[in-house]
């Protein structure tokens, strides 16, 4: 008998302790994976250079509001005038929500952050490291999307509240009077950020130059579609979002005049349902695209 060959007749006990079998790691569930990616991406996103731009953009209306407040406190009452008459604080706040936040900030943040969710990883050539992890690609996208929503919401919404406290009392407006409108504004800014983020995440996941495409969509297509009569406006997020705004649309320029002329306001239920559906659909398509697409990194 060959001394090197182990004797199969030896009892198991005499043979020594059994070596453990190979560990079969299971991929974490979708939610856990997405939350893990969210956790990692949140810090990255919050302390990136892009957030400096976000802070400047969001800080400008707040700085403006603080300036109006200081001028009012120093006796320059009626600083903001229209047609010779001082404009009260609530009207100023409403106009800022319309013009600064809804029409500019929310789409811009959606474009700059949403398109970068996947595109930045591709440009930095780090997407490979993300996709080799034993988590679904869809979870990566969802995790990054959640990080975007949290980042923008936690920067934009407090700025709106600070702006409200500064501007609403101007011209002896009332904090009490505008409180319900403020809650509505906060809600619709949140869902606007989510909806635009989902749309531009889809554009970022699927197209080659997502930033340009996103800007053209937000400031070209949407403005045009809203100004024209007919059904085209239903293919914009702004159509549904603007239906939820509690403030009067300010009249500034030909574009606003045309939009108000052909304005056809859907009900709040329709608007909310449409925005929610669009968010889910865009995210689903973006997730599918990320799963199926092969991202070729440029050398």
Residues that bind other proteins (CB under 8 A): 39, 42-43, 46-47, 73, 77-78, 82-86, 88-89, 150, 154-155, 157-158, 161-162, 164-165, 168-176, 178-180, 182, 248
Query: 215, 112 in Cβ contact below 8 A?
Result: no
In angstroms, give the least distance from the CB of 206 to other proteins.
30
In angstroms, give the least distance from the CB of 278 to other proteins.
26
Rounded distance between C-alpha atoms, residue 122 and residue 299, angstroms: 11
Q: Which two tokens stand for residue 80?
A: 């903001």
Q: Smaller CB distance to other proteins: residue 89 or 210?
A: 89
In angstroms, give the least distance from the CB of 155 to other proteins.
7
Q: Smaller CB distance to other proteins: residue 38 or 112?
A: 38
Q: Smaller CB distance to other proteins: residue 163 or 199?
A: 163
In angstroms, give the least distance from the CB of 69 to other proteins.
8
Nearest to 155 by CA among 125, 126, 193, 122: 193
Nearest to 214 by CA among 145, 129, 114, 137: 114
Q: Smaller CB distance to other proteins: residue 88 or 110?
A: 88
Rounded distance between C-alpha atoms, residue 60 and residue 280, angstroms: 32
DSSP bridge pairs for 81: 86
Q: Smaller CB distance to other proteins: residue 47 or 235?
A: 47
Nearest to 39 by CA among 133, 155, 147, 134: 147
């Amino acid at each position: 008998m060959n001394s090197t060959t182990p004797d199969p007749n030896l009892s198991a006990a005499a043979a020594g302790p059994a070596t453990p079998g190979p560990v079969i790691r299971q991929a974490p569930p979708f939610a856990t994976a997405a939350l893990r990616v969210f956790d990692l991406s949140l810090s990255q996103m919050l302390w990136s250079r892009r957030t400096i731009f976000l802070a400047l953009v969001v800080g400008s209306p707040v700085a403006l509001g603080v300036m109006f407040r200081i001028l009012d406190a120093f006796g320059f009452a009626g600083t903001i005038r229209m047609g010779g008459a001082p404009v009260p604080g609530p009207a100023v706040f409403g106009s800022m929500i319309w013009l600064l936040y809804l029409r500019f900030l929310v789409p811009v943040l959606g474009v700059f952050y949403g398109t970068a969710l996947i595109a930045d990883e591709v440009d930095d050539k780090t997407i490979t490291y993300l996709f080799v992890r034993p988590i679904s690609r869809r979870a990566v996208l969802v995790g990054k999307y959640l990080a975007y929503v949290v980042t923008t919401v936690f920067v934009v919404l407090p700025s709106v509240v600070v702006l409200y406290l500064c501007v609403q009392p101007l011209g002896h407006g009332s904090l009490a009077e505008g409180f319900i409108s403020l809650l509505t504004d906060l809600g619709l800014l949140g869902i606007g950020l989510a909806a635009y983020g989902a749309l531009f995440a889809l554009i970022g996941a699927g197209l080659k130059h997502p930033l340009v495409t996103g800007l053209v969509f937000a400031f070209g297509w949407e403005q045009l579609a809203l100004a024209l009569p007919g059904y085209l406006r239903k293919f914009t997020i702004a159509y549904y979002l603007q239906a939820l705004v509690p403030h009067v649309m300010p009249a500034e320029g030909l574009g606003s005049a045309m939009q108000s002329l052909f304005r056809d306001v859907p009900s709040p239920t329709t608007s909310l349902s449409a925005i929610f559906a669009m968010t889910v659909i865009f995210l689903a398509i973006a997730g599918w695209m990320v799963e199926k697409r092969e991202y070729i990194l440029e050398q």
